Amino acid sequence: MKRVITYGTFDLLHQGHINILKRAKALGDYLIVGVTSENYDTTRGKLNVAQSLVERIENVQKTGLADEIIVEEYMGQKISDIKKYKIDIFVIGSDWQNKFDYLKPFCDVVYLPRTKGVSSTELRNEQNKILRLGIVGNGRIAKRFIKESKFVSGVDVDVVYGRNPQKLEELCLNYGLEKYYTDYSKFLNDVDAVYVALPHTLHYEYSKQALLAGKHVLCEKPITLEEEKTKELFDIAHEKGLILQEAIKTVYAPCFDKLISIAQSGIIGEIKDIDATFTKLITDKSLREFNPELGGGSLTELGSYPLSLITKLLGTHPEKIEYTAMLEPKNNIDLMNKVTMFYPNAVATANVGIGIKKEGNCVISGTEGYIYIPAPWWKTEYFEIRFEDLNKTQKVFVKFDGDGLRYELAEFLKSINTHKQSYKLSDKESIFISKVIEQFKKKKNSVFYIV
């Protein structure tokens, strides 16, 4: 008897799940299905699981395809299960290609290609509440987003739009996507929402088209490079009852939310100074980060992270904003930028750079103490609350999983399902971030030096 095993969350069971189970069963004589527990889903960073373990097991049972159902409770259990149940074949979807090759010494490992042509109507069935989300663009961030989407229940990411058919076909093949479009209108007709992962200067155009077509939009940061354009997009979203969300992954992370709440609680007294730094060395000058026509530069690329933190804690109405930038002479883009924001009773500094490297930490200083977030603070999972008396230091830990994109996607899905804009990043805050970037582009209150 040939014994087959497969695993999954099987939340909101839909046709895609059923197809995998059918094909897994066809490979042998006896199919064992492992359903993940709530605790294991949490530890592996799986977000937004809507149904209980009991409900998910019942749904798998109802398919009539599983000869036996077990519960997956911890990392490494797969090897134990393969030995325990004398498994011949381990089966998983091709979107996890190569991830489970470590099981090959114990049994055959089969990656099943995703079933092409699964009806979008089936996936969008009201009962299942599966959001069909399409990706606009096929660059570096889009690829990371596809991987992260596997950890968010209730969303199906299998359609992509772009201009280069060869690259799109390659993306679909490598990442198990169902299909691609080079016609944006046809693409929009096939999705419920879009993730705009294009260069900064294209965000406005493609987000606007999607909103006007009645689609929810998750747009990479910054949404636009101009205050009025960002405001216009939010106005369209509100008018049509849609969700428009800026994809600044840090603000949706669990530890960041706790950080903001603690800082606002008064535990360090009145906040008087914020200093946040985010730099990364980019050596390939052919990338979009160095192309002024695509919105290149350190402030447009990295500024949204420290600016969102400052805005959360000190608001959107500084009395003055000053910029000190180190320019690259060939393309005239800022390799480094120090943005200083003066508030009535506080000052904040956002340090960003793509041509220099600094310690990427953050310090929030108050009249009674300060909060220290070590590098990389934008992947916040640990910080310390420090006082004059070092014995009073408090340490806070909250896990940050993967690349962090799963958090913004989970929040986006939650906002759509609840019909409420997320409190974690308001439209006013996104509009203000665009304003800060626009003022620099217009060289307001700026000091430049050439390297």
Domain count, the chain: 3
pLDDT given at position 356: 92
263 and 411, same domain (yes or no): yes
Domain with 423 in it: 251-450
255 and 368, same domain (yes or no): yes
Tokens 């109405």 correspond to what residue? 317
- The Cβ-side half-sphere exposure at 376, using a 13 Å CA radius, reads 13
pLDDT given at position 97: 86
pLDDT given at position 153: 87
> Cα angle at 404 between 259 and 92, to 5 degrees?
140
311 and 392, same domain (yes or no): yes
Tokens 């308001």 correspond to what residue? 426
94 and 141, same domain (yes or no): no
112, 131, 150 — which closes off a domain? Answer: 112
370 and 228, same domain (yes or no): no
Say how far apart CA 398 and CA 62 lie, in whole Å.
37
DSSP assignment letter at 292? G
Say how far apart CA 298 and CA 354 lie, in whole Å.
5
Please say whether the beta carbons of 354 and 282 come within 8 A.
yes
pLDDT given at position 207: 98
Name the H helices within 315-446. Answer: 405-418, 427-441
Spatial CA neighbour of 199 closest among 301, 126, 274: 301
> Cα angle at 315 between 312 and 318, to 5 degrees?
135
Say how far apart CA 272 and CA 68 lie, in whole Å.
61
The CATH number for 200's domain is 3.40.50.720
215, 247, 279 — which closes off a domain? Answer: 247
The distance between the two most distant Cα atoms of the chain, rounded to a whole number of Å, is 76
274 and 300, same domain (yes or no): yes
Listing DSSP states for 381-413 in one string gives SEEEEE-SSGGG-EEEE----TTSHHHHHHHHH
- Prediction pTM value: 0.82
112, 132, 153 — which closes off a domain? Answer: 112
pLDDT tens digits for range 273-287: 999 999 999 988 889
227 and 212, same domain (yes or no): yes
Name the H helices within 290-441. Answer: 298-302, 304-314, 405-418, 427-441
Please say whether the beta carbons of 53 and 46 come within 8 A.
no
pLDDT tens digits for range 13-49: 888 899 999 999 999 999 999 999 988 887 777 888 8
pLDDT given at position 124: 46
Helix H or strand E encompassing 371: strand 370-373
107 and 156, same domain (yes or no): no
Pairing between strand 346-353 and 271-279?
A: parallel
Say how far apart CA 419 and CA 237 lie, in whole Å.
12
The CATH number for 437's domain is 3.30.360.10
258 and 404, same domain (yes or no): yes
DSSP assignment letter at 330? T
Residue numbers of the chain with a pLDDT score lower than 50? 119-121, 123-124, 126-127
Give 379's contacts (C-beta < 8 A, 6+ positions apart). Answer: 250, 253, 400, 404
